[in-house]
Amino acid sequence: MESPRVPSWGRYYSLFMSMICIALKSSKSISFADDTTIYTSGLSLANLYKIMNMMNDDLNRLYNWFGANKLMLNVTKSNYMIFHSVHTPAPEENKLMVGNEAIKKQTSTKFLGIYLDENLKWTYQINFIGTKLSTGKSLYILRATKNLLPASCRKTLYYTTIYPYLTYGIEMWGTATKELLNKLTKLQNKAIRIVGRAA
């Protein structure tokens, strides 16, 4: 006689995480793997006090929901950010709390592999890509193999080591200033010259 299959903890976890919306009253959530983002929005910073109170209420509900379902929320790995215009700084006196612990406020954070900053200027993201391309292995691999591999292989190397950095999330960070984007354009041009053996 075959014993019944017991679902893995991963399935239970996925089920729990998909039910987070039950605990939220004013906020919405996005989950990917074991990362969950809770967010809300308002039309202006004048409503910030009200929005922060609603978010704190939802965080309290979430904290209780996690406890009731024998799950743990790691506050030390949690942070929050207030998106706002450069010309309208966000007030500092508001805090988000989980239980009795304050959540750390950030001016930038990584979300699904993309660095977001509070003004959506994309400086952190473009600097991250630039660093990966210039000091990482990407351009080095192209340079080291430019006289060893045929053009078709160098092109494949470009599309596997450089192109993903330049295209992932470009719909968002591609709105950055020309000055910031020029940093990446120069690195891309350098890579293309190496692929064509002009460098």
- Check: CB of residue 90 under 8 Å from CB of residue 48: yes
Residues 150 and 95 reside in one and the same domain:
no
- Check: CB of residue 65 under 8 Å from CB of residue 99: no
Domain count, the chain: 2
Task: Give the pLDDT score at 121.
Answer: 95
Task: Give the pLDDT score at 100.
Answer: 87
- The torsion region of residue 3 among left (phi > 0), alpha (psi -120 to 50) and beta comes to beta
Which residues partner with 110 through β-bridges?
115
Task: Give the pLDDT score at 188.
Answer: 94
Distances 149 to 96, 157, 187, 195, 197 between C-alpha atoms, Å:
55, 10, 21, 10, 11
Task: Give the pLDDT score at 13.
Answer: 63
Burial class (CB in 10 A: 0-12, 13-18, 19+), 173: buried
Burial class (CB in 10 A: 0-12, 13-18, 19+), 111: middle
Q: pTM for the whole thing?
A: 0.79
Using alpha carbons, select from 192, 105, 94, 75 the residue that is nearest to residue 142: 192
Residues 147 and 85 reside in one and the same domain:
no
Task: Give the pLDDT score at 56.
Answer: 93
Domain membership of residue 75 (yes or no) is: yes
Q: Which of 106, 132, 147 is the last residue of a domain?
A: 106
List the domain range (segments joined by +) for residue 182. Answer: 123-195
Tell me the pLDDT tens digit for each residue of 138-161: 888 888 888 898 989 999 999 999
Residues 149, 154, 156, 158: is their CA dihedral positive or negative?
positive
- Mean pLDDT by 10-residue block, N- to C-terminus, for the chain (199 residues)? 54 67 84 83 80 91 86 86 83 81 92 93 96 86 88 91 95 95 94 80
- Check: CB of residue 93 under 8 Å from CB of residue 82: no
Task: Give the pLDDT score at 57.
Answer: 93
Domain membership of residue 4 (yes or no) is: no
The DSSP 8-state label assigned to residue 76 in this structure reads: G
Residues 130 and 95 reside in one and the same domain:
no
Task: Give the pLDDT score at 183.
Answer: 95
Tell me the pLDDT tens digit for each residue of 115-127: 999 999 999 999 9
